Chains A and B, each alone.
Chain A
């Protein structure tokens, strides 16, 4: 079924129709929340809250804008707000907390976990907004214009910050024990 039909039905209060939207976009929203917050449980809560806000704001959604872009913008804003309310320093344990892993092959799960932790360690070197920029660029192939719309910046500011973020990440990567 067409997304626009789900949105129209969800606007009328049909939560089953909204469930289709959640099912379609749960991974992009959750992944963004996880990359920004660094904790699975917090990412789960943030992702749930994002969808609740989406449901409440459906009347404000402009169909001319891609739905994914609008959802990720709400998620990014919410995660930035959560990080601002946190205490200033986040311990490495909190940053690396990964729970609820399940895999049929424990070795595969371990390798995946180590890879995920390595990337998350690198991302936690960045400021929250920069994490959003990197995530939107690398995981969702968002253009600079889409990213700018999501984080309320100009495209040139996004480009500039993304370049600086890359430099920071590359340096952090080189300083890892098994880095380049």
Chain B
């Protein structure tokens, strides 16, 4: 019988899984093999050492420290969510303020050109180019925006709602921010 097989039996014996017939064979092999006998001695010593070692306990106050950490993590998440809401609200406010300007600016191109008509040819040409660009923008947005008007309306309503929620969340989170700042 090979020593490798016997070593496997040693492990099974330590696990309490070795059959009685194999245990007899193991003991017979150990009686005649000094190397395996030494190995078995080391494994048994290791078992005694590990099984006899007590569990290491944390220092006093561990529970309090854990609960404090749980509270801090919850506050951090609230602040992080507040930051996201702030960013979303800022984006919504930007959309609300720019959208009308983008929509009306192209229609002002004709008025702008009229204002500058009396000036030099270069300025007139420049304003003509600007007017052409703005008209192109108006045609493009008209092609895209008009078909999507209901969707845009929903977007405006959503942006208004998010802005209002943002304002409300900021008001609620002010005490949490003060606590985090102190830490």
- Interface residues of chain A, those whose CB is within 8 Å of chain B, are 15, 18-19, 22-23, 26-28, 30-31, 34-35, 40, 43-44, 47-49, 51-52, 55-56, 100, 115-116, 118-119, 122, 134, 138-139, 159, 162-163, 166-167, 169-171, 173-174, 179-180
Determine the chain A residues whose CB is within 8 A of the CB of B181 once the complex forms: none
Given contacts A138-B50, A169-B46, A170-B42, contact A51 B70 (CB under 8 A): yes
A-B pair count, CB < 8 Å, reads 102
Given contacts A47-B62, A170-B42, contact A15 B70 (CB under 8 A): yes
| Cα(A47)–Cα(B38), bound, Å | 38
Determine the chain B residues whose CB is within 8 A of the CB of A35 once the complex forms: 56
Whole-angstrom distance between the Cβ of A115 and the nearest chain B Cβ: 7
Task: Using CB atoms, name the residue of chain B closest to A112.
Answer: B54
Interface size class of B (residues with CB under 8 A): 20 to 34
Whole-angstrom distance between the Cβ of B35 and the nearest chain A Cβ: 12
Main SS at interface, chain A: helix
Determine the chain A residues whose CB is within 8 A of the CB of B56 once the complex forms: 27, 30-31, 34-35, 40, 43, 116
Is the Cβ of A163 less than 8 Å from the Cβ of B67? no
Given contacts A19-B67, A27-B55, A170-B43, 4 further A-B contacts (CB under 8 A): A19-B66, A51-B69, A167-B7, A173-B46
Is the Cβ of B67 less than 8 Å from the Cβ of A18? yes
Q: Binary interface profile of B, 39-67, with partner A (CB < 8 Å = 1, else 0)?
A: 10111011001110101111100110111
- Interface residues of chain B, those whose CB is within 8 Å of chain A, are 7-8, 11, 14-15, 38-39, 41-43, 45-46, 49-51, 53, 55-59, 62-63, 65-67, 69-71, 73
Given contacts A166-B46, A173-B42, A174-B42, contact A15 B71 (CB under 8 A): yes
Choose among B15, B53, B55, B67 the residue that contacts A22 (Cβ–Cβ < 8 A): B67
| Cα(A134)–Cα(B150), bound, Å | 64
Choose among B14, B45, B57, B62 the residue that contacts A31 (Cβ–Cβ < 8 A): B57
| Cα(A171)–Cα(B59), bound, Å | 33
Determine the chain B residues whose CB is within 8 A of the CB of A159 once the complex forms: 15
| Cα(A44)–Cα(B64), bound, Å | 13
Choose among A23, A47, A138, A173 the residue that contacts B45 (Cβ–Cβ < 8 A): A173
Given contacts A48-B69, A115-B53, A138-B50, contact A166 B43 (CB under 8 A): yes
